[in-house]
Every structure is written in C-alpha cells, then in structure tokens.
Amino acid sequence: MEETNREAVATAVQRVAGMLQRSDQLDKVEQYRRREARKKASVEARLKAAIQSQLDGVRTGLTQLHNALCDVKDIQNSLADVSKDWRQSINTIENLKDVKDAVVQHSQLASAVENLKNIFSVPEIVRETHDLIEQGELLQAHRKLMDLECSRDDLMYEQYRMDSKNVHDMNLIRNYFGQVQGLSEELSKQLWMVLQRAMVTVRRDPTMLVSVVRIIEREEKIDRKMLDRKKQTGFIPPGRPKCWKNRMNEVLEGTVSGRIESTQSETRESDKMWLVRLLEITRKYVLDDLTVVKNLMVQCFPPHYNTFQVFFDLYHKSVSARVQELAAEDLEANEIVSLLTWVLNTYKSVDMMGHPDLQPECDVKQLEPLLPQHVVDDLLGKYLKTFTSNITGWLRKALETDKKDWQKETEPEADQDGYYQTTLPAIAFQMFEQNLQVAAQISETFKEQVLKVCLKQMNSFLVRYREEAINYKEEHLKDRQLPQCYVQYMIAIINNCQTFKESINSLKRKYSQSTEPTQNDATIDKLLNEVAREGCQFLLDEVFLDLEHHLNALLTRKWLTGSHAVDTICVTVEDYFNDFAKIKKPYNQEMTSKAHRRVVVEYLKAIMQKRISFKNADERKEGADRMMKEAEQFKFLFRKLSAGEDTDRLCDAIAAIAEVFRLTDPALLYLEVSTLVSKYPDIREEHIVALLAVRGDASRDMRQMIIETLNQNKPSTSSVSQPVFRDITVPSNTMTSMSVPKLLK
C-alpha cells in the first residue's frame, strides 16, 4: 500500500512539474487544481459503480445456487417416490397379461370386422376384377385387386402377430384368397402386353399407357411399404415384392430388341442388297421410335423415370447387339463396306442418332461404339484381303478383254485430241475410283490403305501388261500381216502408259493426304516408262523391217549409179510417222529422236561395211555429192517430223564423211580426217580404216601415218553429249590385212 502511495505521489509530482514549467502558468494553478479535482471525482464514481455491479452479480449467483440446491433435493425425493411406486406395481403388471391378450384379440376382431364385407364378397370382387381386366379397365381392376390384397394382407398380418407359428390358419387365409394371386398375374400380363405395344399405344390411346404406369407406381409404393414392415415385424405378404417396375424395364428392353430384330425381311439368296435394306429399315425404325418417345411417350411417364434416356440406351444396346451378330456372319466385301459405313458414319450422323428432332436430349458423343475396335479391324482386314483378290481378278479380266481388242481389224478409238487409246485405263481406274470412294466413307486411314493396295496391284498388273505387249510383238513377227492394226494398237499401248500415269497422279491427289513419293510410285513410274519405250522400240523395229531392203541398197554400185533408196526410206518413215503422230508426248518426241538417230546410224553402218570402194576421183565426187544430198533429205524429213527442232548434228556426220570422200588431194587427207575426228570424238580406229578403204586411194603407208598421228592427238570423248559412232561396229572383213596400231585412245 505504501509503495502504491509513493508511486502515486511521484506521478503527481511529475504532472505538477509538467504543468508549472513556465512562470505564466502560476496564474492558472487554481484552474489546474479544479480540473484535477473533477477528474478525481469522476474516477472515484466509476470505481464505485464497478464494485457495486460486481457485488450485485455475486449476490444473484448465490441466490441461484440456493434455488438449485432446493430443486435437486425435490428431484431426489420424487425419484425415491417413483422407485417406491414401481416396486409396488410389478405384480399389478403381471396381472394385466389377460388384458393385453384381450387387446390383441380385439385388434384382430376389429380388423376382421373392418374387412368383413370384403371377406364375404371375395368371390364376387374376383369376378368383377376379372371382367374389368378383360374389358381393359385396368385402373378400376387394379383398385379392386388392391382391396382384395389389402384384406388378405391385414388378416394374415394380424394372424402373424397373434401366432406367427400357426401355419394352418395362415394357409387357410391364403387359400381363401387364392384367386387373388391369379388376378395379379392376369393383370400383369395385360400390363406387359400394353408395354410391348407401347409405340402403337402411345399414338392411339396414350391414356392406356398412363394407366399402366400409374398401376406400376402404386405397386412400387406398396412394395416399399411391405418391405419396411418386414424390417420391423418380419412379416411379408405372399407375392411381395412384385418388382413390377423392374419387370417393366425388362419388357421394354425385349420390345426394343424385338423391334430391331424384326427389321430383316430379306436374305442374301433373295436379294443381293439385303444388308443395305436391313440397315436402312433399322435406321428408319430407330429414328421414328425415338422421335415418338421424345414427343409423346415421355409425357406418359414420371420425370424421374428419365424415359428418353432409358429408351435411347435400350435402342443403342439392341442395335449394337444386332450389328455384332451381323459382323459375325460370313459377309461379302461389299456387305462389309455397307456395314462399316453405317456403323462408323451413318449411325451418329444427322440421319440417325444425331438427327435435329432428337436434340438436345440425344448426345451422340456419349455413345459407346457399336462395334469393338478389334471387330472393326477384323472386318477391315477381311475386306482388304477380299478386295486384293478381287482387284487382281478384275485387272486380269480387263487385260484379257484388252488383248482381244488388239486383234481387231479396226483401229482403236481416239481421245478428244486424236490420240489412240483402249478402254483398259478407264476400266482399271474406274474400279479403283469406286472402291476408294467406298473406302472414304469408312475412314481416312482405311482410304489410304485401299489406295496402297490399288497401287501395289497396279505394280503387279504393269508387269503382266509389259509381258503381254512383248508377246503381242512376238506373235506379230511370226506373220507381219497380222494383226492388221498392229501399229495402231501398239500406239494405243504406249498412250495407255501416259494415261495410267495421269490417272495414278489424279487418284493420289484426290485420295491421299501424303504428297511424299513412295517406293511403289517410283516402281510404277519405271514400269510405265519401260512399257512405253519398249513399245516405241517395237514400232521402230517395224519401220526398219520395211526399210531393211532399202538400207542394204545404200553405198552400193547400184546406189552410185542412181538409186531411189533414200527417197523410199524418207517416204516410208514419213508414212509411218503419220500414224506415230497419234502417240502422246513425251513418247512421240523420243520416238522421233530415236528414228532420226537410227536412220543416220544405219546409213553410217552402210558406209563402214565397205559395200563399195571408189575407183577414181569422179566416183568419189559423185558418191560424196549423193551423200550430201541424202543428208539434206534426212535433215528436211526430221525437221518436219520434230516440229523444227535442231536435227543437224546427226546428219552432219554423213556430210563430214562425204567431205573426206570428196577431197581430191590425198596429201590433205590427214587434215580432213582430223577435222572429222575433232567433230565426232567417239569415232574409232576401225571407222577411220573403213572410211579410207571406201575412199579407195589411200596407200598402206598413208593409212598407217594417219592412224598413228591421230593416236597421238586423239581428243577426249568424255565430254561427248551425243555420240554418233559409239554403237557402230565395223565387220572384220572391212579391215585391211595390214598391221595398224591399236584403237585410238
């Protein structure tokens, strides 16, 4: 206490010191004193109020504790009285057992009295209920059935309560109401019949369907009530629970399944399009039925039944089961395509489950696949295997048909540009196109697979096509008069190769997502070029078989004295090339170049074969002039055939050799030969020897000197872009017997 007083005094001293720091504050001492006095009085008043409040609270708490103590004593006394009374009443309760039994008996008798009317009228009610069922008054019939069952169940329940082991009395009641169970079964049959015809009933008499649903709902409610009572008492009436709602779902599922199974009216034996018809009927039935469910049937069922979704799932399940049955059958290739197209595309499209009339209740994205993926893969594999076999047969048959056309006495047809062609490419690619269109309906991946099969089969087909073209040529050579239109049909074969190329590229652009060339593409392209070039070679062989006699007449004595061999050659070549104009580019250009080269090479071969040896300068001049003239004839001809392209180099070889023959001064022969070698570096030693032999005036020493000198100054042949003499061989009999150096290097 003293410590507190000292702290208070110290605090007061500090406050006073703070107030009186300046001299002018002394005048306000009285004012400070009064202010502090007011503060002190205020603090004391608050302190007194707080202490008084605490004292009042303590007083109230003590009063409540006293009252609680009194209440506890009263309760204790009351419990003692209750305990005393309970001990005294034990004997009295045991004496009331008879009263208890009387109460139970009274309850049973009250129930019997309540159901007395129904008990005596059971036979009559049974007859009335039966009549109502036959008349289709299902709601009224069910009401009477409920009354009968209620009477039976109440009596059996009271008997169970009185003596649950009295089987005799329970059987007596059950037998008396024995017809009730039959009525229940009879009514249920009517209900299931209505549900089986629900799609028809909901259109004609929706109230009938509503009545059925109401009856089922009543029975479900009674089932729940009976099951609850069983939990409490252990008693359950006979025939409960009926579970009619579950039975209704089973009936509806069977109805939908039967509806789907009834769509097949045709078989493969009676109609090749049986599967297409079946799938279309199924599509129509499902769409029509689900539209009826959405617009009419959902109004006949309570919302919590989720009617549309139930039917939607039932139809999906039934369609899936039916489709799997179809997939397990031995389907043909076109049937596999029809089934998979329907399953993978049509089913979820706007033509069926995705139809606008079924939206938004129908969510096709949530549907499980109709067929497991392994079944789809098996069907696709089976189709590809069958398709591969079929396409091989189709191509073989198409080729056989085309081969028969090759023997015709009439020219093949021409396209709009006048090029000969046969129907083979159109037939082959029409088959490819049709199958690719079908495959595209299934999936993009499958379409690519079918395209690969088509190209692979095309590869094998072109090998056979090439073989048949060679056989066609070989048969013609046995009798060149047959077939009459050999040239025209060989042209058509060549043109077909270009058509095949264009058609393949068209298919790839249209049906393939990949633009990268494959190994198969390169093989096909190579085969087509080989067939076309071999065909061109066969035609050139045909030309030169006709020219053989005239080519043999070149550079002979008869030729020197005046022969029309070159005129005939030019006329024959031009006549053939009138037909060859029907060959498509680029093969017609290649053929012109080959013909030009071959004519010149054959002419040069005639020179190298030393069919003539000039005896004097006049003969050499005359021969050289004729060669120059004939070189110009060849130039004119092939300029005309090649539409003005440069054709001079080959023909200039003839003119260059003519200059060697025309030379009058043998001393300058080396220079002329050197000029020839510089223009045509691929010329060889035996060629020079043959030329000098034909010239006829070169001595042995001169020939040896020319050969040796050229050996030392031979130009390189590596840069020759268009060799002329490379393929010309010199027969051994044209070589002189003198010893000459080895080939020019």
The pLDDT score that the predictor gives to residue 741 is: 37
d(CA 483, CA 471): 13
Query: Structure tokens of 705?
Result: 């000197």
SS3 of residue 158 by DSSP? helix
The pLDDT score that the predictor gives to residue 113 is: 67
- Binning pLDDT at 50, 70 and 90, where does residue 441 land? confident
Which segment, 50-64, 86-100, 346-360, 484-498, is predicted with the most confidence on average?
484-498
What CATH class has 554-713? Answer: mainly alpha
d(CA 1, CA 348): 98
**Each residue's pLDDT tens digit, 214-272:** 999 998 998 888 888 888 888 888 888 889 889 999 999 998 898 888 877 677 777 78
The pLDDT score that the predictor gives to residue 568 is: 94
State the pTM of this model. 0.67
**Each residue's pLDDT tens digit, 152-196:** 777 787 777 776 667 777 777 777 777 888 888 888 898 999 888
In the predicted structure, residue 128 carries a pLDDT above the cut 90: no
- Binning pLDDT at 50, 70 and 90, where does residue 736 land? very low
In the predicted structure, residue 35 carries a pLDDT above the cut 70: yes
Mean pLDDT, rounded, for 528-536: 93
> By mean pLDDT, which of 106-120, 347-361, 592-606, 720-734 is the weakest?
106-120
- Binning pLDDT at 50, 70 and 90, where does residue 654 land? very high
The more confident residue out of 153 and 738 is 153
> By mean pLDDT, which of 104-118, 236-250, 590-604, 623-637 is the weakest?
104-118
DSSP letters along 643-693, please?
TT---HHHHHHHHHHHHHHH---GGGHHHHHHHHHHH-TT--HHHHHHHHH
d(CA 634, CA 601): 12
- Binning pLDDT at 50, 70 and 90, where does residue 737 land? very low
Mean pLDDT, rounded, for 509-526: 84
CA 189 to chain centre: 47
- Binning pLDDT at 50, 70 and 90, where does residue 404 land? very high
In the predicted structure, residue 740 carries a pLDDT above the cut 50: no
Q: Which of 527, 549, 532 is nearest to 457 (CA)?
A: 527
In the predicted structure, residue 745 carries a pLDDT above the cut 50: no
In the predicted structure, residue 570 carries a pLDDT above the cut 90: yes
Question: Structurally, what CATH architecture does the domain formed by 377-537 represent?
Answer: Orthogonal Bundle (1.10)
The pLDDT score that the predictor gives to residue 464 is: 95
d(CA 279, CA 673): 87
In the predicted structure, residue 744 carries a pLDDT above the cut 50: no
The two domains 377-537 and 554-713 share their CATH topology (first three levels equal) = yes
The pLDDT score that the predictor gives to residue 718 is: 56
Domain boundaries, the chain: 247-371, 377-537, 554-713
Backbone phi and psi for residue 56, each to the nearest 5 degrees, phi listed first: -65, -40
In the predicted structure, residue 713 carries a pLDDT above the cut 80: no
Q: From the CA atom positions of the chain, what is the Rg in Å?
A: 59
- Binning pLDDT at 50, 70 and 90, where does residue 402 land? very high
CA-CA-CA-CA dihedral for 524, 530, 535, 538, to nearest 10 = -160
Q: What is the mean pLDDT of the chain?
A: 85
**Each residue's pLDDT tens digit, 324-338:** 988 988 888 888 888
Degrees, nearest 5: CA angle 307-313-318: 125
